């Protein structure tokens, strides 16, 4: 079992004719993902990475029964590409693109309240159900199939924690990178809800970072609604206020909100142990599964 | 990252949109200040044009009544070091005789994922402190970006804040203009603090803050041109801009290079956890090639505080072989390696990377934890010498 993606998922890649889009479409297929089409305006009729390209997502859905899109469209056009996938009523859209203007995402955010399509990202590595399918750019070889649900705001930090788990023989049901931007689709609470409702997920690891209040909201949600044991990690304990640490969302504001301390305290209060190092997160998860 | 306009740039943008602003002129030497002051007419304010808050308290803003005072003010402010920033320009501005100070601002509420308009009658002070201590003193109105701000919302924010009736109409008009600007110009924040009220019940923007979403500069060519003028003061951070790295300089002596913001932050935290002090945050981003890796080492070596470097790469789209090539390239040009470098490679093509990496030049560790501990030890050793 898994959440959101499995080997039945039928994927259309938006931006498949670009360098990144083509490379990762091939990588996804090599991993076993059922990529059925590409969608790029003006490139309909071509074949890329062995799949047909359509001018619109709508056509890819009509002809190839795509139900999920992965978006590798450059930032200037990515907001529009997300709207296209939302308006086509796909089940899931995964936006990998980094650097989408925030006001474009505010408009997308409004649209998300009017549609059933779920958005993951943007500025995220995507998600993977080990052994079945991956959507995005995660390196498949470090993952293993198993019992742990993982959700993270950061790509490479996800890899670090997954590596620690896999090296101990602990596999994952699904790992979701939700992205490091200030405005994202699926957030921690949404992902936690999915894992809580998945009978095969026996433990959850969540990797947050400084900035915003998503981790605090997640802690409150865990306290009320989550019985599956959760272990946490928060990056950015040493970040000074007012300095943005890479991700647009990772900033402790001058007035002191978004600090690592506030997030760690909130999680601890909800019964979630927070590791000082990625290895300690794996220690906690291991102890949950014993 | 947001691009911050200087006060004089933001005022120009606001004035062009129809927000009332005081008459002002930019000057970069003492005679220029006097000439500007005489043209505007005394009294005037002389205001340092640097990107830091609290300019007034730090001596960067002076009110002057005549030529002698103008010369003295210009002399003391021009060339001064204001919280680490060199002042080379001042704005000479008509002094406004005010009876009241308000605050108006537009920003993105990331928790809600919506723009929010804010109005307060407690202007002229640090608005973040007001938000903290008396949040009810700031009226907030969330805006649906697909419709923009409805006129009633501007009125509501103004009435909710308790702005006096005589000026409510003018303040709502300023707020409406400000939202339009924020929306049209891809603002991150647009603020007027204070919005001064004169004895004739006119409103006038005595300060102006406009931060632009850097990711949207491609469609804001006029503002993008202003960027150079508003560049950061720190030489290393400027160098990082040229190399296009996400870089933040910190106080410590263990240099840090990695890929991906979350993992780099984690590496900083681990340096601290193992008793060291991080010198910087440097994210090479995804898919870095050899030359970018070499540039990253050059960056960190340029920081004289750095005593050792930890290089931690977990490859997803970044490939271990490219990283190893870049490290070799950067280090082979030295007769003696300037600072000890500890390398940890994992993920995509790490085995290929390890074959390429010249291990005579670096120390290799298998895990993140070991690599950080080793770099902290090296930094301590250098310090003891």
Is residue A180 less than 8 Å (CB to CB) from chain B?
A: yes
In a domain, A129, yes or no: no
Burial of A69 (0-12, 13-18, 19+ CB in 10 A): buried
Q: pLDDT digit string (tens) for B315-338? A: 888 889 999 999 999 899 888 888
A154 and A238, same domain (yes or no): yes
In a domain, B9, yes or no: no
A109 and A165, same domain (yes or no): no
Burial of A50 (0-12, 13-18, 19+ CB in 10 A): exposed
Contact B247, B298 (CB under 8 A): no
A98 and A53, same domain (yes or no): yes
Is residue A50 less than 8 Å (CB to CB) from chain B?
A: no
Of A212, A249, A277, the CB nearest to B270: A277
B67 and B122, same domain (yes or no): no
Minimal Cα–Cα distance from A63 to chain B, Å?
A: 31
**Residue-range definition of the domain harbouring residue B32:** 23-94
Which of the residues in chain B have pLDDT under 50? none
b/e string for A99-127 if b means 16 or more Cβ within 10 A? bbbbbbbbbbbeebeebebbbbbbbbbbb
Mean pLDDT confidence for A190-216: 96
Q: For residues B8 and B5, give the distance between their C-alpha atoms in angstroms, rounded to a whole number.
A: 8
Q: pLDDT digit string (tens) for B246-279? A: 999 999 999 999 999 999 999 999 999 999 999 9
CA atoms within 13 A on the CB side of B362: 28
Residue B96 phi/psi, 5° resolution? -100, 130
Of B246, B250, B262, the CB nearest to A156: B262
A98 and A153, same domain (yes or no): no
Say yes or no for a CB contact (<8 Å) between B265 and A100: no
A146 and A97, same domain (yes or no): no
The ipTM is 0.91
Q: pLDDT digit string (tens) for A80-131? A: 999 999 999 899 999 999 999 999 999 999 999 999 999 999 999 999 999 9
Say yes or no for a CB contact (<8 Å) between B218 and A154: no
Give the domain CATH number at B68.
3.30.1490.20
B192 and B216, same domain (yes or no): yes
Say yes or no for a CB contact (<8 Å) between B273 and A276: yes
Confidence of residue A256 (pLDDT cuts 50, 70, 90): low
Q: For residues B263 and B269, give the distance between their C-alpha atoms in angstroms, rounded to a whole number.
A: 10
What is the structure's pLDDT at A167?
95
Of A110, A246, A278, the CB nearest to B246: A246
**Residue-range definition of the domain harbouring residue A272:** 139-289
Q: For residues A70 and A75, give the distance between their C-alpha atoms in angstroms, rounded to a whole number.
A: 14
Of B62, B94, B126, the domain-final residue: B94
* β-bridge partners, A127: A135, A176
CB atoms within 10 A of CB B228: 8
Of B94, B112, B135, the domain-final residue: B94
Say yes or no for a CB contact (<8 Å) between B315 and A139: yes
A63 and A200, same domain (yes or no): no
In a domain, A242, yes or no: yes
> Would you please indicate which residues of A are annotated as catalytic (active-site) residues?
247
The residue among B321, B313, B310, B316 whose CA lies nearest residue B355 is B321
Report residue A201 CA to chain centroid gap.
17
Of B179, B205, B229, the domain-final residue: B229
Contacts for B255 with CB less than 8 Å, ≥ 6 apart: B279, B280, B282, B300, B301, B303, B306, B308, B309, B310, B339
Of A120, A152, A184, the domain-final residue: A120
């Amino acid at each position: 079992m898994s959440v959101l993606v499995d080997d039945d998922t039928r994927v259309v890649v938006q931006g498949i004719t670009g360098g990144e889009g083509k490379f990762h479409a091939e990588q996804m297929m090599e991993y076993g993902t059922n990529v059925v089409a590409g969608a790029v305006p003006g490139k309909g009729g071509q074949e890329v990475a062995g799949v047909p390209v359509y001018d619109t997502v709508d056509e890819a859905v009509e002809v190839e029964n795509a139900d999920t899109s992965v978006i590798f469209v450059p930032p200037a056009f990515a907001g529009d590409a997300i709207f296209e996938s939302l308006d086509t009523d796909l089940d899931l859209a995964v936006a990998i693109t980094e650097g989408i203007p925030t006001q474009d995402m505010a408009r997308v955010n409004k649209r998300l309240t009017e549609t059933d399509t779920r958005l993951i990202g943007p500025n995220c590595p995507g998600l993977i159900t080990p052994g079945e399918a991956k959507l995005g750019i995660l390196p498949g070889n470090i993952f293993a199939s198993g019992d742990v649900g993982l959700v993270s705001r950061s790509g490479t930090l996800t890899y670090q924690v997954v590596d620690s788990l896999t090296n101990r023989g602990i596999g994952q049901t699904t790992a979701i990178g939700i992205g490091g931007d200030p405005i994202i689709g699926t957030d921690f609470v949404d992902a936690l809800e999915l894992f809580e409702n998945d009978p095969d997920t026996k433990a959850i690891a969540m990797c947050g970072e400084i900035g915003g209040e998503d981790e605090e909201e997640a802690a409150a949600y865990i306290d009320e609604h989550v019985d599956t044991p959760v272990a946490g990690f928060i990056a950015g304990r040493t970040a000074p206020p007012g300095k943005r640490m890479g991700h647009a969302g990772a900033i402790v504001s001058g007035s002191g909100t978004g600090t690592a301390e506030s997030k760690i305290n909130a999680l601890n209060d909800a019964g979630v142990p927070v590791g000082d190092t990625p290895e300690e997160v794996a220690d906690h998860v291991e102890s949950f599964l014993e | 990252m947001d691009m911050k306009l200087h006060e004089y740039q933001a005022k120009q943008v606001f004035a062009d949109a129809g927000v009332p602003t005081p008459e002002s002129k930019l000057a970069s030497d003492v005679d220029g200040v006097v000439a500007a002051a005489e043209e505007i007419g005394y009294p005037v304010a002389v205001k340092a044009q640097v990107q830091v808050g609290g300019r007034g308290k730090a001596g960067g803003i002076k009110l002057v009544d005549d030529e002698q005072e103008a010369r003295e003010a210009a002399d003391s402010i021009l060339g001064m070091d204001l919280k680490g920033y060199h002042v080379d320009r001042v704005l000479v501005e008509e002094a406004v005789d005010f009876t009241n100070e308000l605050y108006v601002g537009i920003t993105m509420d990331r928790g809600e994922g919506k723009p929010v308009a804010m109005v307060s009658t407690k202007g002229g002070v640090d608005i973040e402190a007001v938000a903290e201590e008396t949040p009810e003193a700031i009226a907030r109105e969330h805006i649906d970006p697909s419709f923009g701000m409805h006129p009633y919302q501007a009125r509501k924010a103004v009435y909710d804040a308790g702005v006096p009736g005589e000026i409510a109409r003018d303040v709502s008009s300023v707020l409406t203009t400000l939202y339009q600007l924020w929306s049209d110009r891809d603002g991150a924040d647009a603020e007027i603090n204070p919005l001064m009220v004169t004895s004739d019940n006119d409103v006038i923007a005595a300060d102006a803050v406009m931060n632009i979403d850097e990711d949207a500069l491609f469609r804001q060519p006029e503002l993008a041109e202003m960027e150079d003028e508003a560049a950061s003061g720190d030489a290393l951070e400027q160098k990082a801009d040229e190399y296009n790295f996400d870089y933040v300089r910190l106080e410590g002596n263990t240099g840090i290079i990695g890929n991906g913001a979350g993992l780099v932050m984690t590496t900083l935290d681990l340096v601290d956890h193992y008793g060291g002090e991080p010198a910087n945050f440097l994210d090479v981003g995804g898919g870095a090639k050899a030359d970018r890796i070499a540039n990253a080492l050059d960056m960190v070596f340029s920081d004289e505080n750095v005593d050792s470097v930890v290089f931690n790469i977990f490859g997803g789209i970044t490939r271990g072989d490219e990283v190893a090539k870049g490290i070799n390239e950067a280090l082979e040009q030295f007769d003696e390696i300037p600072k000890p470098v500890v390398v940890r490679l994992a993920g995509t093509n790490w085995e290929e990377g390890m074959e390429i990496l010249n291990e005579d030049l670096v120390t290799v560790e298998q895990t993140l934890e070991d690599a950080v501990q080793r770099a902290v030890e090296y930094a301590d050793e250098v310090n003891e010498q």
